[in-house]
Structure 1
């Protein structure tokens, strides 16, 4: 970087290299044909859209939880199980609050009052359990790398020893002192299907008499269904999932289409979905196509992956979470003398050399650019001998890529 001074150029050009977590900048003095100053500003890579999306997701989750609780109150009121005043009293009853987990366990085998039943269901409606949106088994090893999923699997294994989750919370020694989650401790996280089974057992026990009577059987079956899975269509035609375990579909074709805008040029055609399998496949194959294979035993003879190689690596990508150069080497049975390079990096290097020789006669600029290119060339040459240094090469080449753009803008 040049030394800072009080001098300010009258005619200048500003060049910016805007990245996801940094902005590189340089000011060119057009009168003196030299770089006046340059630098980089590094900041957090998190964008405001991500924060806003997380906030909106939390808002939606809280809104839907309130809808479930409101619906549960309505079911008890509309079916004469409790009055509005009785519900208010139930929510304020300190004795029930202090013994809520004991009541939850008791409800499996014994009759409890409607007020106590409401509080037990109210508790469960707030924390209805985890439901994976993966099509594969949520307990497989590949998807269970986090503390959350490891604890979830452990909790599920413990739950198999008990008839219900409530009985486990009340009787298992692990839950004697604590029955709720804490930071990095998901002791109270359970599979939603296990909690649903518990609620079904509780409701059938509490409405045992009514369900066994012909006159009231159908009525109480509807009450149970309303508590568990009630879905209604509102005045706008939208479905409202109000039951404790009513679940919105994670995604469908109409939802994807609704979120996809129209093309800027073909006004009647929708844009291609970026977050799709075909786009990921295209991006992956494009990256592989840009790889240059160097054979150090044959004077750096170059060749590219052929169609058969690309197909083989595509199948590998469907099975592995991450693919490294070592995986490519192993999959294609490449010799250790084979090194990898990027076509984009090589082309940038050659283009920058030509650009420096033809376009920039200023001694200061040419000297600075040549020095940067020479440093990058040395790093690149070392990386050919050691494939593990490929990333270093790419970092070094970023230096003269910025210069190339700045000089181009100043012409």
Structure 2
């Protein structure tokens, strides 16, 4: 008999704890809606209920917790419209940032069928109204955070805006759910801000999700690649880079980084293979052809480098790096010919022919970047006996 009394007493104690938390939730709601709200105490009571085992999965508790933030945000928002009031804008938007996840959790709890298999959305209707009332201010919040260089909070604000636009609560509400140009811009900035704030997991998720939606797809694709690299997932990064190279062949970022990764891994053959694959897909891409020349330049295979640079020049004659590198390859070939012990007339003639081939390419490169080219160009002119041109370069660049 004593054992039975003990068990009943224990049950009563447990019930009392649960009842106390439910009373706290009701008290928090009253404090929030009072003519003179006490948001500090209401927030404390709501947080206590969300932390308690008996009420942490209670939809009403989450609704009231969100309501506290909502009501204080609205109060500050109204006050900010009056010129005589000075409202802390960042503190106001912090309330909004806290509000949204609390409200959305109500739906997550209530959408689960009860023991009878029924779904009762008791507080979700109120949540939907409040969220729709507030969510567009997340755009203002994001801009305000960006102004303070708080990129983490800005990314969260824009992320919440996108989440609401896509939330099942608003699937039938075309006013909210229909994507527009603003949604496109927010998605773009959300990707960039997550990367900028080193939230790389979020940047990867959002970039994959929105890269085909945003207008500046190239930028978002680079965010994806950069974020994967930051996570040291080089396999996925190279795959993304090769996809980016195919989508945006004129952007050197993708292929150059993919090749750099392979080379850093000591896999030069794979680097050449990747580049050859890109050339096969786009054989008239001057950039890829020039990069293949660079690959052979690294190994000092000047003859092969020349072949690829010549192909690139034939498609795009005015590109500085290729023009300069082609001239440099001919120059290095000439130097190599003369590097033998006691070069004779045969070597001298062969080297002179190579210097002559290098000359027009160095002249073309000089027109674009004289300070980067003048020294070698002057050396070529001196070797070829072009005294007038050599003197010009000597005077222009104070050569000894």
Q: TM-score of the superposition, structure 1-length normalised?
A: 0.24
User: Higher relative contact order by CA 8 Å / sep ≥ 6: 1 or 2?
Assistant: 1
More strand by share: 1
Q: TM-score of the superposition, structure 2-length normalised?
A: 0.25
More helix by share: 2
- Larger Rg belongs to: 2
